[in-house]
Amino acid sequence: MTTESQRLDEAREGVLDRMETGRRLVHYGTGAAALLELAMLAACIVLVDWGDRGQVLLFLIFILSYFIIVLGMLALAGHVTSATARILAALDSRADEAS
């Protein structure tokens, strides 16, 4: 194995390690954000005057608009995951060709 291919393999391993670390940080951050959002939603539910139809309507509109944003974020996460999988597959196939 040449030194150039060894350096390339080391660079690939470094990039994959950094990607894995970043993925873990994103998961921890997402979990923390989800807990914070849940606490704020619980506070909204407690603070809404359910006898006032205007507040109930505003709360309903808030929930519906928030739901659309969450769906968009989930779609984006799916796209990024599939793009990353394609990149990793391409790197893996190149590693198989080199050996």
pLDDT at 98: 61
Give the number of other Cβ atoms within 10 Å of residue 62's Cβ: 13
Q: For the chain of 99 residues, list the mean pLDDT of each consecutive stretch of 10.
A: 78 84 91 94 95 96 92 92 86 69
The domain ranges of the chain are 3-98
**7-to-11, 14, 19, 64, 94 alpha-carbon distances in Å:** 6, 10, 18, 51, 15
pLDDT at 4: 81
Instruction: Supply the DSSP string of 10-32, one letter for each residue.
Output: HHHHHHHHHHHHHHHHHHHHHHH
Q: Is the pTM of this model over 0.75?
A: no
Separation of CA 38 from chain center: 17
